[in-house]
Amino acid sequence: MATQTTETAAGACVDAGGSALGMPQLCADWMGNQVAWLVVSLIVIYLLLSRVALPRIGAVLAERSGTITNDIAAAEELKQKAVEAEAAYEKALADARVQAAAIVADAKAEIQADLDVELAKADAQIAAKVSESEKAIAEIRDGAVKSVTDVAKDTAKELVKAVGGNADAKTINAAIAARMKG
């Protein structure tokens, strides 16, 4: 065949036009090349991974899990602290409330005492003023009664004199006193 020479030139598995003859996978001429380069690639990948990449990534992952564990423990501790702080705060608040209530009660009692004292003082003053006033009123009344008696005696004396009678002062006084009583 005419194509026989070109086929040998291009290789046993490729025709003159550069197309595959059959499956290139089964071409024995190419297998050695693939196998050789595969072995080289695998060795390079294995060395890269086992010498450099895998220990490094393993260390990073271990370090990370350690960090995460530590962080979680720290967070747990902080949470515990926060709970404690909250309890302390609550307790302080309750104490302060109790204290405030006590202070309020004290102040109230004090004020009440002061108030009582002041009230008593005021009452006493008022009572004193009242008695004073009553005394004054009584004086005024007494004065008024005396004046009225005097006026009545004088008037009676003048009336008796005007009527033409002659009455002695003793009789008139007795009569006035008697009238004033009634």
Partner 1 sequence: MTHVATDAKSEGGLVFHPLDQFIVKPLFGDGPISWYTPTNVTLWMGIAVLVIALIFVVGSRGRAIVPSRLQSIGELIYGFIYKMVEDVTGKDGIKYFPYIMTLFVFILFANYLALLPMSYSPTSMIAVTAILGFGVFICVTILGFVLHGSKFLGLFWMSDAPAILRPIIAVIEVISYFVRPVSHSIRLAGNVMAGHAVIKVFAGFAALTLVSPVAIAGIVAIYGLEVLVAGIQAYVFTILTCVYLKDALHPAH
Both tokens assigned to 151: 């006026």
Asked if 70 is part of the footprint of partner 1 (rule: CB under 8 A), the reply reads: no
Task: Report the chain's C-alpha Rg in angstroms.
Answer: 67
Window 39 to 58, contacts with partner 1 (CB under 8 A): 39-42, 44-46, 48-50, 52-54, 56-58
Candidate residues 2, 5, 6, 26; the one interacting with partner 1 per rule CB under 8 A: 26
Report angle CA 53, 56, 59 to the nearest 5 degrees. Answer: 145
* Choices 20-28, 88-96, 98-106, 166-174; region in contact with partner 1 by CB under 8 A: 20-28
* DSSP-assigned beta bridge partners for residue 20: 14
146 in Cβ contact with 180 (< 8 Å): no
Question: H or E stretch including 21?
Answer: none
Candidate residues 2, 17, 169, 178; the one interacting with partner 1 per rule CB under 8 A: 17
Asked if 117 is part of the footprint of partner 1 (rule: CB under 8 A), the reply reads: no
Closest approach of Cβ 79 to partner 1, in Å? 22
Asked if 74 is part of the footprint of partner 1 (rule: CB under 8 A), the reply reads: no
- List the one residue out of 3, 27, 32, 31 whose CA is nearest residue 17: 3
- List the one residue out of 148, 155, 139 whose CA is nearest residue 180: 148
Asked if 2 is part of the footprint of partner 1 (rule: CB under 8 A), the reply reads: no
Give the footprint of partner 1 on this chain (CB under 8 A). Answer: 3, 11, 13-15, 17-27, 29-42, 44-46, 48-50, 52-54, 56-61, 63-64, 67
